């Protein structure tokens, strides 16, 4: 099969460069060629975005709805949705069922982007009004740069909200899985957004800094190094590891919630930032650790395109390196699952990343902060004397408890960004509710508008 040609998508349309990166599937087979743009092209593209004017809100909404239809059902650049999903599964290593589910999720996010984005609008501000003596909700800038991750196609559901609010977008796709970003930007162009409203700019890491510096605002995905780099920047919104956790208190029978706990760990093949990577147990954690291991051990080792695949697949060398890393980090922990092997060789140059369950001996064990791209969970004891410290710095915490005072304390803790109480898996995202705060909190601000003249805007 011929290689897919993933051109850069600039203000002048598709742009094929001499510098290309070969995108390979999990077995090492070439799948696509990605055009990499130079620094000067990035600067010119950002300038074109800055000159462009946003579509009116009703036209944006209609175009987003059409882009959702095209993305989920259409043939784009000669690639049907079925071929796109198969290619993403083979390149990313995510199970095909996960990719298919995410196609629907992205379409929902596109179609509802304007409404979802406006959930962040303060009650006292108006989005568009001719009335004077009001607060207006306005953009903090005109151009947003989005440097997106490649661990899961679902990450693209966020930046489209900026397009809905009138921003012009420069999207840098991950070189690990650029297919989703390319299809999405192409669908937006075909739906009515101008090529000077949203561009796709594949770059190397050094040129990516030009995107961050050249936009009015930027969204950046990465590890703790990225978080540290941009933590104090007011124009950059960094997204790092989720470090998602579950808390099981002594007044709760964990056997009644085992489905929720296992689903939180293993749904989406354990590859999303909303998968649980640490479980804290008030009392003896061993029975729960053994129960989780027993459930996860039954998951099959299959190639990503198989209908029953449930675990991620990586190139064999990469999988073995991850295995070595996890085993080195697990020194001193009790292996309930995955202590012998994690990489299951599929015989074609790729390997399934099998689940791992390790039990540590204290709530502040450093392993509980470790996040891996497959179902890998650390089970730790927790007591009231440990307090909230081990539970902090988490994207989502599911608390299995009937202690209302504890729930109140967890809800008031600023570093726990989302809280579920009871049988709500950590990965459940409700449309319209914030994932990591509302994006609109970062993109927009309120501005007083008063005049003694009849309003004309």
| DSSP secondary structure of 402-451 | --HHHHHHHHH-TTB--EEESS--TT---TTS-SSS-HHHHHEEEEEE--
pLDDT tens-digit series, residues 380-401: 999 999 999 999 999 999 999 9
* Cα–chain center distance at 174: 12
Residue 57's alpha-carbon distances to 93, 131, 190, in angstroms, are 38, 18, 18
Q: If pLDDT is split at 50, 70 and 90, which confidence band does 291 have?
A: very high
| pLDDT at residue 431, rounded to an integer | 76
Backbone angles phi and psi of 82, in degrees to 5: -65, -45
Q: If pLDDT is split at 50, 70 and 90, which confidence band does 246 have?
A: very high
Helix (H) or strand (E) holding 160: helix 156-164
Tell whether the model's pLDDT for residue 129 goes beyond 70: no
| pLDDT at residue 232, rounded to an integer | 86
3-state SS string over 257-324? HHHHHHHHHHHHHHCCCCCEEEEEEECCCHHHHHHHHHHHCCCCCCCCCCCCCCCCEEEHHHHHHHHH
| pLDDT at residue 225, rounded to an integer | 87
Cα–Cα distance for residue pair 293/335, rounded to 1 Å = 9
345-349: list long-range contacts, CB under 8 Å, 24+ apart.
345/316, 346/27, 346/301, 346/303, 346/313, 348/27, 348/303, 349/26, 349/27, 349/28, 349/315, 349/316
Tell whether the model's pLDDT for residue 131 goes beyond 60: no
Percent of the chain topping pLDDT 70? 97
| pLDDT at residue 132, rounded to an integer | 58
| pLDDT at residue 226, rounded to an integer | 83
What's the rounded mean pLDDT across residues 308-314? 98
pLDDT tens-digit series, residues 132-145: 568 899 999 999 99
Q: If pLDDT is split at 50, 70 and 90, which confidence band does 452 have?
A: confident
pLDDT tens-digit series, residues 163-192: 999 999 999 999 999 999 999 999 999 999
Q: If pLDDT is split at 50, 70 and 90, which confidence band does 310 have?
A: very high
What's the rounded mean pLDDT across residues 12-33? 96
| pLDDT at residue 433, rounded to an integer | 83
What's the rounded mean pLDDT across residues 314-335? 98
Handedness of CA 373, 375, 378, 382 (dihedral sign): positive
- For the chain, the C-alpha Rg in angstroms (whole number) is 23
What's the whole-number average pLDDT of the chain?
Answer: 94
| pLDDT at residue 316, rounded to an integer | 98
Domains of the chain: 4-240 (3.40.605.10), 244-421 (3.40.309.10)
Cα–Cα distance for residue pair 255/115, rounded to 1 Å = 39
Indicate left, alpha or beta for 181 from its phi (over 0: left) and psi (-120 to 50: alpha): alpha
Q: At what angle do helices 57-73 and 179-191 cross, to 10 degrees?
A: 130
Q: What is the dihedral of CA 57, 180, 436, 395, to 10 degrees?
A: 170
What's the rounded mean pLDDT across residues 334-360? 98
pTM value? 0.94
| pLDDT at residue 15, rounded to an integer | 96
pLDDT tens-digit series, residues 208-228: 999 999 999 999 998 888 888
pLDDT tens-digit series, residues 78-111: 999 999 999 999 999 999 999 999 999 999 999 9
Residue 224's alpha-carbon distances to 132, 230, 242, 372, in angstroms, are 45, 10, 11, 13
Backbone angles phi and psi of 193, in degrees to 5: -80, 130
Tell whether the model's pLDDT for residue 32 goes beyond 70: yes
Of 388, 387, 385, 390, nearest to 365 (Cα)?
390
Tell whether the model's pLDDT for residue 282 goes beyond 90: yes
Tell whether the model's pLDDT for residue 198 goes beyond 90: yes
- Within 10 angstroms of residue 205's Cβ, the number of other Cβ atoms is 9
Tell whether the model's pLDDT for residue 449 goes beyond 90: no
């Amino acid at each position: 099969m011929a290689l897919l040609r993933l051109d850069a998508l600039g203000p002048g349309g598709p742009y094929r460069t001499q510098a290309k990166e070969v995108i390979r599937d999990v077995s090492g087979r070439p799948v696509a060629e990605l055009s990499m743009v130079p620094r000067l092209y990035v600067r010119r593209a950002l300038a074109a975005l800055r000159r462009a004017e946003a579509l009116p809100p009703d036209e944006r909404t209609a175009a987003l709805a059409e882009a959702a239809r095209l993305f989920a059902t259409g043939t784009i650049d000669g690639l049907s949705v079925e071929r796109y999903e198969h290619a993403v599964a083979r390149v990313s290593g995510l199970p095909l069922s996960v990719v298919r589910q995410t196609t629907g999720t992205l379409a929902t996010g596109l179609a509802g982007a304007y409404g979802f984005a406006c959930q962040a609008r303060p009650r006292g501000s108006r989005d568009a009004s001719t009335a004077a003596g009001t607060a207006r909700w306005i953009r903090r800038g005109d151009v947003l740069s989005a440097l997106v991750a490649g661990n899961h196609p679902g990450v693209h559901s966020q930046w489209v909200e900026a397009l809905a609010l009138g921003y012009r977008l420069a999207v840098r796709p991950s070189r690990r899985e650029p297919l989703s970003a390319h299809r999405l930007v192409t669908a937006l162009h075909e739906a009515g957004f101008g090529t000077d409203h949203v561009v796709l700019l594949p770059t190397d890491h050094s040129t990516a800094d030009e995107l961050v510096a050249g936009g009015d605002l930027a969204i950046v995905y990465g590890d703790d190094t990225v978080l540290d780099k941009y933590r104090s920047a007011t124009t950059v919104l960094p997204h790092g590891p989720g470090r998602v956790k579950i808390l099981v208190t002594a007044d709760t029978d964990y056997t009644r919630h085992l489905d929720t706990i296992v689903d939180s760990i293993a749904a989406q093949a354990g590859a999303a930032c909303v998968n649980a990577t640490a479980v804290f147990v008030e009392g003896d954690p061993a029975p729960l650790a053994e129960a989780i291991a027993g459930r996860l051990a039954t998951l099959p080792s299959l190639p990503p395109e198989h209908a029953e695949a449930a675990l991620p697949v990586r190139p064999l060398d990469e999988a073995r390196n991850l295995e070595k890393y996890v085993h080195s980090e697990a020194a001193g922990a009790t292996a309930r699952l995955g202590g012998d092997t994690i990489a299951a060789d599929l015989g074609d140059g790729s390997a399934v990343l099998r689940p791992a369950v390790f039990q540590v001996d204290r709530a502040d064990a450093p392993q509980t902060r470790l996040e891996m791209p497959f179902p890998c969970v650390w089970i730790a004891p927790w007591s009231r004397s440990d307090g909230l410290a081990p539970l902090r710095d988490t994207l989502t915490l599911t608390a299995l408890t009937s202690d209302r005072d504890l729930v109140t304390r967890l809800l008031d803790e600023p570093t726990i960004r989302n809280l579920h109480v009871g049988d709500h898996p950590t990965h459940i995202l409700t449309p319209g509710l914030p994932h990591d705060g509302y994006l609109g909190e970062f993109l927009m601000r309120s501005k007083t508008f008063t005049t003694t003249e009849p309003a004309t805007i």
